[in-house]
Structure 1
């Protein structure tokens, strides 16, 4: 069912500081910082091995990442998987009480 982890999303308060730590600890090189008006945040990708870490910094206090940081602090926000059949995987997750952020599949 799950082929591999493709991305680990990490909510951070300061993208520069967090990016420096990812580089120091994992030796990962960061991509360019992208500002996403659609999601009201800045993101930077760091690759290590076959996994990409997506560091996410909110652009405003109303942003979903800002709310996450307020409630839980910095850390793991989401994990993205590559699966063989997304519809079957979503059904399996629901049946096994896995919290799904988006009921509608997001394919990238």
Structure 2
């Protein structure tokens, strides 16, 4: 498969919100589906979140809607330094990222950084890891790489 990521299938769209309870209820009503459980990202010791090269305690409330082949992620960040918080402060609520499943996270990060797309934030979650690459200048959105453990 050609391309920098090895695939071109968007698996997730991430949307930043100020009030996840309100917005997830609105999505559930709009689509006539069940409102998902709202979770919170792991604590720093587990998540090992790193933003612009610095460790951060940042956490976020998350709600996931499975929309067929695509997952919609709502993100309500806390006030610690993170891509979520800075982007929300700067741009307001709305689209933050599109995500792609990858294999070989470290290699993909190095490849993208070599093409001029710096790593913005990375972290771990139960069952995998994520990385936000700053592709905004060229692609007008941040790309998230998702690697799930086999």
Q: CA deviation at 1:81?
A: 1.0
Q: CA deviation at 1:33?
A: 0.7
TM-score for the superposition, normalised by structure 1: 0.72
Specify the alignment match of 1:51 in structure 2: 70
1:62 to 80, 90, 93: 80
The answer for unaligned runs of 5 or more in structure 1 is none
The answer for unaligned runs of 5 or more in structure 2 is 1-5, 44-57, 124-128, 131-146
Aligned mates of 1:70, 1:17 — CA distance in 2? 19
Aligned mates of 2:122, 2:38 — CA distance in 1? 28
Specify the alignment match of 1:75 in structure 2: 94
Divergent runs of 4+, >6 A: none
| 8 Å CA contact retained: 1:44, 1:56 | yes
CA separation of 1:63/1:85 partners in 2, compared to 1, >3 Å: closer, same or farther? closer
Specify the alignment match of 1:91 in structure 2: 111
1:4-43 matches, within 5 Å, as: 4-38=9-43, 39-43=58-62
| 8 Å CA contact retained: 2:24, 2:36 | no
SS at match of 1:2: coil
Aligned length: 106
CA separation of 1:36/1:103 partners in 2, compared to 1, >3 Å: closer, same or farther? closer
Greater RCO, CA 8 A, separation 6+: 1
The root-mean-square deviation of aligned C-alpha atoms, in Å, is 2.9
| 8 Å CA contact retained: 1:4, 1:83 | no
CA separation of 1:94/1:23 partners in 2, compared to 1, >3 Å: closer, same or farther? farther
